[in-house]
Amino acid sequence: MMKTWDSASLTFRRFVEQNHAPVILQILPALNSGGVEQGVIDINAAIVRAGGKSIVVSSGGLRVHEIAKAGGTHIEMPVDSKNPLVMAANVGRLRKLIREMNVDVVHACSRAPAWSAGRAVAGTNARYVTSCHAAHTLGGMFKRAYNASIAKGERVIAVSHFLADYLEQNYKVDPNTLRVIHRGVALEKFHPNSVTPDRLIKVSQQMRIPEGAAVVMLPARISRIKGHMFLLDAIAALGKKDLFCLFLGTDIGNENYRKELEAYIDSKGLAGSCRIITNCDDMPAAYMISTVVVCPTLQPEGFGRVPVEAQAMGRPVIATDHGGTRETILRDETGWLVTPGDVDALTRSLHEAISLDGRGRAILATRGMSHVAQHFTNEQMCEGTLDVYAELLGAGAVKALPSNDSFTASEADRAAG
């Protein structure tokens, strides 16, 4: 049975009841769209609901108001910067904040903030947690050192077993400090019953979906690694005239690739049956208008939120067979997994998904929705994270780590390069 808020995070609640309301500080670059951002917002609410005090440090963003709305406190700081001088200054800013606010646990959720946060914690009594959300390119010695900042927590949270293995193999993280906590989705939001008919009509009109077309949707930023061209090759090979392909995601920072993609669409003769939409404010409704959701990433993702959301919405999903996606899709039960770049395999899976009859779609939808409800809910993600906090808090007071003021601008510059 899925746990509710009232029964979740019992170890954290027990600490609150027996000791004090712990102060938890989460730190991330900014509060805009994205899986990391959504996780921080959800955990902020969970901390408050469980009786703790929540502080979120970021450079700001469109979703800052959601922190205060849930009872937390947001503090703006330039922790998104990779400028070595700013990173060095953030060490002092964060250390002062930790001491003034009597912070019990610091949780760094990204590499640049972790560089500063790890050093800020030194010399205080705060415990330190980091979380890893992607298998970053290793690069040279200095780049590896920069990436390693996310692996320096007393506890290191990985959002998939794939990332836990990555951290063990590449950064020698002690398995005893690793905790795998999958991301979760809000079932009250991502559920077919939550989408009203008027929302479906509105989204269909906004995206100009042709009447009666089977919709193949790829929801991801417009980036080469997301596999748009791979999908286009499969659609062209499929040769179905009643198919409509929808690329849904921002192209900010990837404008040149978008031009290449548009030219590639033309070269495949798909200009009239393919559209790029860079903004959507109702993803649940967007999923509902799709016939099949495809995630053909060419590089392994740390987790892969889209396949989970698609399954929660009862949609058939096809994804590439690597990374965290292997942990979110039950092969041939809740979706299809294909070899990256294998156009024939993707074409066959597309044909199978589009050809499903009503009964087949209902069976797939039921399996997918049940799978997500059992393993990938917000409640489970928040409970697991609060349990990590409680684990460190329950260890009792420890000797303060020695101050490490040797962090210099030149050190940060070399690492970030």
Per-residue pLDDT of the chain (417 residues; tens, 9 = 90+): 333 334 346 789 888 988 899 999 999 999 988 889 999 999 999 999 999 999 999 999 999 999 999 999 999 999 999 999 999 999 999 999 999 999 999 999 999 999 999 999 998 999 999 999 999 887 777 778 888 999 999 999 999 999 999 999 999 999 999 999 999 999 999 999 999 999 999 999 999 988 889 999 999 999 999 999 999 999 999 998 899 999 999 898 899 999 999 999 999 999 999 999 998 989 999 999 999 999 999 999 999 899 999 999 999 999 999 999 999 999 999 999 999 999 999 999 999 999 999 999 999 999 999 999 999 999 999 999 999 999 999 854 333 333 333 334 344 343 334
Q: What is the 3-state secondary structure (H, E, C) of 272-308?
A: HHEEEECCCCCHHHHHHCCCEEEECCCCCCCCCHHHH
Contact 383, 274 (CB under 8 A): no
Query: What is the DSSP annotation of 232-268?
Result: HHHHHHH--TTEEEEEES--TT-HHHHHHHHHHHHHT
What CATH number does domain 192-375 carry, 3.40.50.2000, 1.10.3720.10, 3.10.20.30, 1.10.10.1100? 3.40.50.2000
Q: What are phi and psi of 155, to 5 degrees?
A: -130, 135
The SS3 of residue 319 is strand
**CATH code of the region 10-184+377-416:** 3.40.50.2000
Cα–Cα distance for residue pair 337/182, rounded to 1 Å: 19
**All CATH 3.40.50.2000 domain ranges in the chain, comma separated:** 10-184+377-416, 192-375
DSSP state of 402: P
Contact 377, 265 (CB under 8 A): no
Residue carrying the six token digits 């805009």: 32
pTM (2 d.p.) = 0.87
Query: What is the DSSP annotation of 99-130?
Result: HHTT-SEEEE-SHHHHHHHHHHHTTSS-EEEE
Question: At residue 279, what is the residue type?
Answer: N
Query: What is the DSSP annotation of 153-222?
Result: SSEEEESSHHHHHHHHHHH---GGGEEE----B-TTTSSGGGS-HHHHHHHHHHHTPPTTPEEEEEES-S
Residue carrying the six token digits 């780049």: 143
Residue of 376, 334, 390 whose CA lies nearest to 181: 376
